[in-house]
Amino acid sequence: MNKDILIVDDEEDIRHLIAGILQDDGFSTRLAWDYTSIKKEISKRIPSLILLDVWLENSDLDGIQILKLLKKSYPNIPIIMISGHGTIKMAISSLQVGAFNFIEKPFDTSLLVLNIKRAIEDAELKIKLSQFIDDDTIFIGKSNPALLVKSLIEKVAATKSRVFITGPTGSGKKHIAKLIHNKSSRALGAIVFLNTKRLIPDAIEEELFGKENVEGNPERIGLVEQAHNGTLYIDEAANLCTKSQRRLIKLLTENRFLRVNGKYAVEVDIRIIAASSKNIHDMVINKNFSEDLFYRLNVVPIIVPSLKERIEDIPEFINYFLKKCSKTLGVANKSLSKDHYNLLQSINLSGNLRQLKNIIEHLLIVSQTHSNDEITKLIMSYNNKEENNFSDIIQKKMISLSLKKARELFETEYINLQMKRFNNNVSKTADFIGMERSALHRKLKILNEKGEN
């Protein structure tokens, strides 16, 4: 991705000289000479780096004062100070305020380019580190539904297409957005998250687009601007208010926007990945969500399956969460028994991955002092009311039966329950209950014949 350098110097010849040097090295350049022209250029598009002269004639503010203002409003933009009359005190002051380096004029061309490259790499590394603090961003799952999602991620990541991810709550939509971003050409840019559920409708617009004060200075940098050269992830996009939907349509059409109370249009290059756990199609039909915005966002749809649809992936997720949560909690990684894995596969995880992670975290904490039998009872307690009633129903049916008939009844109910859990997939059911596939087929045939009689 081409790096954009904003050169700020009061001497026109120096500005053009530096621009020529940097362009020869493959950089794009823009020019400014005072705080007003700087604001105008940044409003158009946030640069990859700013070269800022300390002494600026005919400017109300000197370079150090401008550096302080820029670092307050744009803390992630790397800034290198330059000066022909620099002092050690001035250099130290610049570094304390937040400059990446201080270079004296006349400077060595190779030294200038080296510092620019290092400053940009350092800024990009900080962004990447902030994204990976609590996320390994790996894909988990080998079931057919999981492999379909993985294939879509691989294909869409290499493109510039917008993506709309749908799936039940807690199924991993945000994680998939991170995978797409990290595999894309925007990986060195930021991925910025908007959680609409945590905001009141009136606050979403300012959160997205930022705000300027009466003097036209940025008072708040919005998420759209922060995502320049990266990705904006909108969680629960169905919650966007009508006004925000209209503004997003305009942004997607023009690739620029106005901050709240803004004077200058801000140009951005972003990719939007939206997600929703609601039925967005029904919302469009019922006029509760903009059809125009939906079709602009839904260029590549990805449907994330629930854990119920990918039960065979649960052991792999258990191992992942055991390792991850033990590290987060600072406790020993407890190995679970095969029975524990089977029980965790059998409970109704309506909260999907989020619920499974919470359960594993709970098990890790109590496993430090509890026995395997106590852990078994704890896992069984996670079953929902319908599943807990299963034993009561069986008991009522069995009470008047002989031992042989009771065993047959239990076997029938048990196999039917497991078949239902695995969506009538014989191979998956046989693997889970520990039967040969051919043996389960024969058993099902016998049960069906008895049911018909």
Name the DSSP letter for residue 185.
T
Q: Mean pLDDT, to the nearest integer, of 408-435?
A: 82
Residue 386 has pLDDT above 80, yes or no: no
Q: Is the pLDDT of residue 444 over 70?
A: yes
Strand, helix or coil for residue 194:
strand
Mean per-residue pLDDT of the chain: 87
Tokens of 51: 């070269």
Residue 390, pLDDT score: 56
Residue 176 predicted with pLDDT over 90: yes
Instruction: Give the Cα separation of 250 and 252 in Å (integer).
Output: 5
pLDDT in tens, 58-72: 888 889 999 998 988
Q: Phi first, then psi: what are they for 96, rounded to 5°?
A: -65, -35
How would residue 205 be classed by pLDDT, with cut points 50, 70 and 90?
confident
Pairing of strands 231-235, 163-166: unpaired
Which of 153-157, 175-179, 363-367, 446-450 comes out lowest in average pLDDT?
A: 446-450
Residue 228: both structure tokens together? 């320049």
pLDDT tops 50 at residue 385: no
For the 4-132 domain, the top CATH level (class) is alpha beta
Confidence of residue 25 (pLDDT cuts 50, 70, 90): very high
pLDDT at 127 over 80: no
- For the cut 50, the answer to whether the pLDDT of residue 431 exceeds it is yes
CATH number of the structural domain 144-303: 3.40.50.300
User: What are the domain boundaries of the chain?
Assistant: 4-132, 144-303, 307-380, 385-452
Residue 189 pLDDT > 60: yes
Is the pLDDT reported for residue 445 higher than 90?
Answer: no
Dihedral sign computed on CA atoms, order 161, 293, 287, 171: positive
pLDDT at 381: 82
Residues with Cβ < 8 Å from 362, sequence gap 6 or more? Answer: 378
In this predicted model, which residue has the larger pLDDT, 337 or 234?
234
Interval 448-453 mean pLDDT: 64
> What fold characterizes domain 307-380?
Helicase, Ruva Protein; domain 3 (1.10.8)
| Fold observed for domain 385-452 | Arc Repressor Mutant, subunit A (1.10.10)
DSSP bridge pairs for 30: 6
Residue scoring higher pLDDT (218 or 35): 35
CB 150, CB 56: distance < 8 Å = no
Contact 348, 383 (CB under 8 A): yes
The CB density around residue 282, as the number of other CB atoms within 10 Å, is: 11
pLDDT at 448 over 80: no
Spatial separation of the C-alpha atoms in residues 380 and 391, rounded to whole Å: 12
- CATH topology agreement for domains 4-132 and 144-303: yes
Give mean pLDDT, residues 221-236.
92
pLDDT for the residue 372:
82
